[in-house]
Amino acid sequence: MEKNANTNNVVGFPKANMRMVPPNNNVTASMALADFQDAYINESLSMVIPILFEHLMLLGFSSDENGDDHRGNFVVEALRSFMLQKYETVHPFQKLADNLFVQDECGAPGDLVLRRDLNIFCRQIKKKKEKIQVPPIKKKK
């Protein structure tokens, strides 16, 4: 029987005289840094998201029972966008947030509210969808 090297249970520790080799140029260094930041954000989200959604479920705000939870994914991406701002990394939700919220005229500086004209725009889209008659999908025979 042939012995496979991957099947042993021996842990291979690094040798004492091994040195970490730094990146040889700025592009490699910035790519390694970006990979590290992405990994850190993903790990942070994997710790925070289950706790957040569990608390929401305990409060009666459960996710979609159909398994099609776009709103939950929206929340996760919004948090990812929020975290990426720390590293000055661009995320599409940052531009979305810049266009969705405006300064509250009656509130303190820094208080943001949802744009009023956004609701009008959403109503216009809804009316257009009601006018458009979409034929049902025909099943293949």
Per-position b or e across 82-102, b if 16+ CB within 10 A of its CB: ebbeeeeeebebeeeeeeeee
Query: pLDDT at residue 94 above 60?
Result: yes
Q: Average of pLDDT values for 94-99?
A: 84
Query: pLDDT at residue 79 above 80?
Result: yes
CA 56 to the chain's CA centroid: 18
Contact 89, 37 (CB under 8 A): yes
**Distance (Å, rounded) from C-alpha 60 to C-alpha 62?**
6
Which pTM value belongs to this model? 0.60
pLDDT tens sequence across 102-127? 888 888 888 888 877 766 666 666 66
Residue type, 135: P
**To which H or E segment does residue 113 belong?**
strand 112-114
**Distance (Å, rounded) from C-alpha 96 to C-alpha 3?**
56
